[in-house]
Amino acid sequence: MTYLNPNADSDALNALLTAARSDERRGRAQAVADRLAAMATHIGRQGLSGVEAAELLRYEAQRYRDESQELR
């Protein structure tokens, strides 16, 4: 009779979860980097002032806050 090793199953599951979390974090980081680059391009092309650029950043920060609240 073959017995399963619960520790091996747990270790495999933990490895899968860790990999999934890492992939998710990489994806989120890339999305934020892409968004920041797009904002920088917009600021430059539109010739926004420092005050206008700061307002745009505040708007984006709020957008991220709102999104994080939706995920709870």
Cα dihedral value 14, 65, 32, 18, nearest 10: 0
Question: What band does 4 get if pLDDT is binned at 50, 70 and 90?
Answer: low
Residue-level pLDDT at 10: 86
64 domain-assigned = yes
The parent domain of residue 43 ranges over: 7-70
1 domain-assigned = no
Q: Which of 27, 48, 30, 51 is nearest to 39 (CA)?
A: 48
2 domain-assigned = no
User: Higher model confidence: residue 5 or residue 67?
Assistant: 67
16 domain-assigned = yes
Structurally, the chain folds into a number of domains equal to 1
17 domain-assigned = yes
Residue-level pLDDT at 41: 98
Residue-level pLDDT at 2: 62
What's the pLDDT tens digit per position in 10-69?
888 899 999 999 999 999 999 999 999 999 999 999 999 999 999 999 999 999 999 888
Residue-level pLDDT at 52: 98
